[in-house]
Structure 1
Amino acid sequence: MRYRQLAPGIDVSEVGFGNWTVTTGWWGDYTREESLRLHREAFDHGITFFDTSDAYAEGYAEEVLGEAIAPIRDEVVIATKFGYDITSDHERVGQQERAHRTDVAYISQRLDDSLKRLGVETIDFYQLHNPRMAHIDADDLWAFLEDAKEAGKIRAYGVALGPKIGWLEEGVHAMRTRDVHGMQMIFNMLEQSPGKELLEVAEETGRTMIVRVPHSSGMLEGNLTADHVFPKNDHRRHRPRSWLIEGVQKVATLDFLTEDGAGTGMTLGQAALKWVLSHDRCVTTLPNIYGSDQIAEFAAAPDKRDLTPEELDRVQALYDDNFGVVPEGLPDTDKVNGGVGS
């Protein structure tokens, strides 16, 4: 494992563990014991960065993380998120987004609740969860974060963009107008925009980036086929069939990243992480970890060879040509950029 600086005094493993996959039921069902075991396996493989949110199963994910890292608190970096109303009894339908709530009185209580659930005195990295422009313009909210930092309740703070890919304007505005230490975004070989544009601003402003969905929702693990059927409790089941069919075609063009006659190559999943980490402002990645095999494979990625300039250029050329794939319903002359959705 290798480590990079997220914020002053905060070093993180290049591969982190986002625990939404094993606590929310959107990537399969896990018992509490199974979730705890996977957290601890991740640490045993050198992973020291753990990311969660108070909105993941109404605080359950924070509780699990807190229990898992209790014996090793001083050896890990904890990131959580805030900004959604998790106390409302409004019934949500499917993957419908929650309502935000960011008044200072509410956020102050949520911070204290997160500290209690995590079993810690300080949260290392506190992130505004999927904000809209109005939240970034809320001076009282950002003043509160500074106060919380001064009080020792948080060490650094930032923004997690979402819920889906996009949010360029919000990300740029936050980096240029607020003293954010880092930002979380979706970025991978198949979905490069607006990540590339955000990275340019990160370079300009000196911000660091946390990258989630580096495998494009599992597509870049290289294990999916055009006839794959997702389980009922897998959120990808709700994607249009074209997402799967076109994604598999795109992945087929990336075989050159795993070809190595000497036997010292890497899996596509590892190459996808190395591609993200080839961008200097990207300090850590949050692959979707849902089993022991993923932990072992992904945690080994940083120690694999770096992608060559020629390989990086070839990936870019493929992306610029939509990997040679014509979206369903469009003639050859109407090819468009972009990867699969998230």
Structure 2
Amino acid sequence: MPKRKLRNLEVSAIGLGCMGFSHGYGPGPDKNEAIKLIRQAYDLGCTFFDTAEGYGLGSNEELVGEALKPIRDKVIIATKFRVADSEYGSKKKTLRSVRSHLDASLKRLGTEHVELYYQHRINKNVPVEEIAYCMGELIREGKILGWGQSQSTEDEIRRAHAVTPLTAIQSEYSIMERMFEKDVIPACEELGIGFVPFSPLASGFLSGKVNADTQYVGDDVRRVITRFNRENILANQSLLDLITRFAEMKGATPAQISLAWMLHKKDFIVPIPGSRKLERIGENLGAADVELTEEEFTQIEAELAKIEVHGNRTDEDIAKLRWLK
């Protein structure tokens, strides 16, 4: 597996998003199977694993910690925090709150530090500079090696980075969601910050295995993500036809072409697709070996420019899931 740099952190070119082992995509594997799959991902070359305190109410961190314990010194762990409005205030109060969240995560992960600690979403009521100050203190304490933001704007990135340099930005990015190409990704390139796309396969849409009759149940976020509406699945067929055509040309899969396109874009982009089947994990990690020529990449870009993407994924839509039976 090729390696890439997120500022000063060296990671596998493709990581593993672990959320789905605990929630978000319907019933998953049992604990023992999940641990086995995470370790098999490492055997396949993955050294970058992503979790968060909010995934499964902390159970995902416990799972990831247990799975990676035998190889802890060989992997990079990223986790995330959110704190309520009442936990912010003075720098001292905010630092106390963030440190409390981090200590709880470290306990669940069974480790003394994490390599990368993200603010899960920007709280618009709290200056990003205040969070950046706290991250600097945690870095000095040795509890984290670097920090990041999620779904942040260029302005928020620049303001925070000026206080404590950012290691990575984790935001949604895929062939179907390219809103950060205009300003955020160029800012990351300028400032030496890594960019870590979540949902790089558009929640599985770009695998080519979704059809208009696919049904989702339980806590599966695809129940409320509009790109999975029947009419949007049909409307987006031209996009799937494009990546399928290139997949056949390259002897690859649509998912691998989607990830290879992303890897070709910039050398500081490290996607973290999630999957709960060994075959899919191997397929996704194998995308690091699929190289697009400059001509092929240009062709794909030209064709994408002609295609309108229907539907999207928003936090507001996902929040509706809690009200569905």
- TM-score (ref. length: structure 2): 0.86
Q: Does 1:252 align with 2:252?
A: no
User: What is the aligned partner in structure 2 of residue 41 from structure 1?
Assistant: 40
Q: Indicate which of 185, 209, 233 corresponds to 2:195.
A: 209
Q: Gapped runs of 5+ residues in structure 2?
A: 89-93, 314-325
Q: Gapped runs of 5+ residues in structure 1?
A: 86-98, 326-337
Q: Deviations over 1:221-266 (max 9, x none)?
A: 1111222222344210223423322233321233331123xxx621
Percentage of pairs with the same residue: 28
User: What is the aligned partner in structure 2 of residue 331 from structure 1?
Assistant: none
User: Are 1:3 and 1:11, in contact at CA under 8 Å, matched by a contact in 2?
Assistant: yes
Corresponding letter in the other structure for 1:221:
S
Corresponding letter in the other structure for 1:119:
G
Give distance in 2, aligned partners of 1:211 and 1:33. 27
Give distance in 1, aligned partners of 2:40 and 2:78. 18
Give distance in 2, aligned partners of 1:184 and 1:224. 25
Give distance in 1, aligned partners of 2:269 and 2:303. 25
Give distance in 1, aligned partners of 2:297 and 2:310. 17
User: What is the aligned partner in structure 1 of residue 52 from structure 2?
Assistant: 53
Give distance in 2, aligned partners of 1:219 and 1:81. 25
User: What is the aligned partner in structure 1 of residue 317 from structure 2?
Assistant: none
Say what the alpha-carbon RMSD is for the aligned residues: 2.2
Q: Indicate which of 179, 188, 212 corresponds to 1:193.
A: 179
User: Structure 1 residues 265 and 178 mapped into 2: Cα distance closer, same or farther (>3 Å)?
Assistant: same
Matches within 5 A, 1:144-223: 144-161=134-151, 167=153, 169-171=155-157, 173-175=159-161, 178-223=164-209
User: What is the aligned partner in structure 2 of residue 6 from structure 1?
Assistant: 6
Give distance in 1, aligned partners of 2:128 and 2:64. 31
User: Structure 1 residues 312 and 199 mapped into 2: Cα distance closer, same or farther (>3 Å)?
Assistant: same
Q: Which of the two has greater helix per residue?
A: 2
Q: Deviations over 1:179-228 (max 9, x none)?
A: 21211111111211123431111122221111111111111111112222
User: What is the aligned partner in structure 2 of residue 286 from structure 1?
Assistant: 272
Give distance in 2, aligned partners of 1:248 and 1:168. 32
- TM-score (ref. length: structure 1): 0.82
User: Structure 1 residues 146 and 175 mapped into 2: Cα distance closer, same or farther (>3 Å)?
Assistant: closer
User: What is the aligned partner in structure 1 of residue 71 from structure 2?
Assistant: 72
User: Are 1:191 and 1:340, in contact at CA under 8 Å, matched by a contact in 2?
Assistant: no
User: What is the aligned partner in structure 1 of residue 305 from structure 2?
Assistant: 320
